[in-house]
Structure 1
């Protein structure tokens, strides 16, 4: 018996019904984002390896799939000290690094404030497990060139409208600022490279608890009399936190202004929110669902990234939806599509079948030609499951679509 022929681990096939459901969700997302003034772009699935490994992607850089240089010899393979010496291209691991490169390439052709939509697959060499894939779709909106809070306001408003349009009620947006985290660490005497490692540890607070975080910080050489007490208080801190001595007042004021500009949004100030990417420079946010223990998306401000490619700093901020998580939660009604009919035939006179089909397509119908089976029942059941509503037998006497006698499939 032949072995199953499956897609690569961590990658999936989608049957027609599932593909149609995913496209319905994507269509709603695109419509909302376009209504908010964003324009869709497309970038290549591969980028130069040097860009993907420029220190902008954090741990995701370690998960990038590389493409070997053409023409490598056995001597080249043996001489290489690092694997990256053998590759010149790589599959994108997110859509933010390609966007930065895109903007640097096309800045002269773009408006001074550019609002971008990117919806596309990305690839990471993950260890496949439930909900974690090696190929998955990201849905990003970004605003480049706007340094003020209006960019955050637009991104959050558009995201809230998407969640509402998809029927995801009760979601809140956790919000923080990297400057607040930096100020917190500074109050413990932590700065420089140690600060980045400390943030990675603090991000585990909801998983390993106060004691676990404090112990891990101690192994990094970060010890301070008030660490455990402050960590214990952080989850309960809300919008009345302005008295905290570790709070960066300018960043906190910025978040308060966003809250005032978005009274319809459920914004939750959460000083424990870190976001793992090291390129974030200011506001950061995540979508929280009341019934789930994981986020449905997130993002933040990354003002320093584009300057790495362009040589001139450009303010930038983005919000990414976790499409693969969201699509499993969403149930959208079927769209109003063309009525779908089936012509059952004996496989004779192909020119006549093509002519009949063309006539029906011209009437606005969706038409499937199916060879008649001896046992019609399973064939008709399958066709009904695929959304077809009526069928007709094509006898030898039928020469015009008007002669077809249609019957209901169910």
Structure 2
């Protein structure tokens, strides 16, 4: 059988012990920070009904939804009625629409769990990955946006991510800019999808797509729009262009208010207005942001306000909401502890020598009750040297030696593998040594 047959599917990974431990430490840090801000955990199914997910992420996003084929007689048709979770925001909207009366208002929740994208795998891009989300539902206050950004900032700082920076904009700024440039409302979504590629494509390539493909803008309009957004003085240019746009001015006010609220929390070098930031998802309605880090493609965190998503799903009243997400898969390689050696597996290793291993299991069980990680040798070798090597490979501090001679004497040897010192104890009392 070919070696490739044993690889995980493209865009997915196996995590062995050391990497799993590093990931769990990072997740624990994120949970602790989010919990300190009063966010509560929420768990939703790995898959949703297809109609719940589609139509929420824009044309490009909808293409990346992993669909699940109908079973039974429908399987041959290629029809799908379920899909793997694309993100945690749309499932949250479904939960609020379903359980709204049982939830506190505002409802502050976080979610740390895998999501799936039918994307082309690449460096830092996977088909299955964990998202760390937090959201506030039921508050239109700019304080909610500021609290989400503050919690994301605190999590990145606590994790030890170096030199990250928040880029902030507002969808209202972008809508106002399109208004100023005379872009028809029906073409606005397509134009924004193309502008979202400015961090991936050269400006002239974006101009070509705007004028020849999406939006079909006049070449001069496309060129001037891209020039304003990519100029070194883009902030000044955009503020000037939006002087007579009511919605654009409202967007600028949102950005300025957020930056002001965060002025004592996030250093100015770590946050700033970025008028060329788009965020391609259709459901954003106000402030949007992304977090970048040196030498990392794309963003390591993102978020924004999406006041219309929940009402759109439930056909109910407008429900204000905002949230953000940490791109933990891109963050983990940046952490100082990412390359630390694996932590010890055991505290105490118990040898299994001779033919009678009953006492070995009894002693291991008693030592575990003291709170120490304890394991019994499970290999086939009866040689002490091989079992001592196993104990060292597990990172154990202590090893219990209970061979035929010790069994006959009614004693067990406790060897300190760091110092080499040894003490002897009755088997039924050895746990007392570790419980002192």
Equivalent residues of 1:341, 1:391 under 8 A apart? yes
Q: TM-score, normalised by structure 1?
A: 0.89
Deviations 1:42-100 (A, max 9, x none): 00111111212244465232222222323316xx73xx5xx4xx222221111111111
1:245 to 225, 238, 241: 241
* CA positional deviation for 1:249: 1.1
Is 1:232 aligned with 2:236?
no
Aligned residues, how many?
Answer: 402
| Structure-2 change in CA distance of 1:395 and 1:358 (3 Å) | same
Higher CA-based Rg: 2
Equivalent residues of 1:388, 1:409 under 8 A apart? no
DSSP 3-state at the match of 1:285: strand
| Structure-2 change in CA distance of 1:400 and 1:353 (3 Å) | farther
* CA positional deviation for 1:192: 2.4
Q: TM-score, normalised by structure 2?
A: 0.84
Is 1:406 aligned with 2:418?
no
CA distance in 2: counterparts of 1:399 and 1:334, whole angstroms:
40
Is 1:196 aligned with 2:189?
yes
Equivalent residues of 1:343, 1:368 under 8 A apart? yes
Is 1:393 aligned with 2:401?
yes
The residue correspondences of 1:94-109 to structure 2 (distance < 5 A) are 94-109=87-102
Equivalent residues of 1:352, 1:399 under 8 A apart? no
DSSP 3-state at the match of 1:246: helix
User: What residue number does 2:322 align with?
Assistant: 317
Is 1:272 aligned with 2:267?
no
Once superposed, which parts of structure 1, at least 4 consecutive aligned residues long, lie more than 6 Å away?
333-339, 374-379, 399-402
- Which range moved further: 220-229 or 47-56? 220-229
* CA positional deviation for 1:407: 3.2
User: What residue number does 1:341 align with?
Assistant: 348
1:328 to 308, 330, 333: 333
User: What residue number does 1:45 align with?
Assistant: 46
DSSP 3-state at the match of 1:129: coil
The residue correspondences of 1:283-294 to structure 2 (distance < 5 A) are 283-294=287-298
User: What residue number does 1:258 align with?
Assistant: 258
Unaligned runs of 5+ in 1: none
Deviations 1:233-262 (A, max 9, x none): 424346656741236111111211111111
DSSP 3-state at the match of 1:126: coil
| Structure-2 change in CA distance of 1:374 and 1:198 (3 Å) | same
Structure having the larger proportion of residues in helix: 2
Deviations 1:163-204 (A, max 9, x none): 110111321100000111111111121132311111111122
Equivalent residues of 2:68, 2:81 under 8 A apart? yes
Deviations 1:349-386 (A, max 9, x none): 35322211111112221001114636777765665454
User: What residue number does 1:119 align with?
Assistant: 112
User: What residue number does 1:182 align with?
Assistant: 175
Deviations 1:200-231 (A, max 9, x none): 11122233333222222111320164543442
1:172 to 165, 174, 190: 165
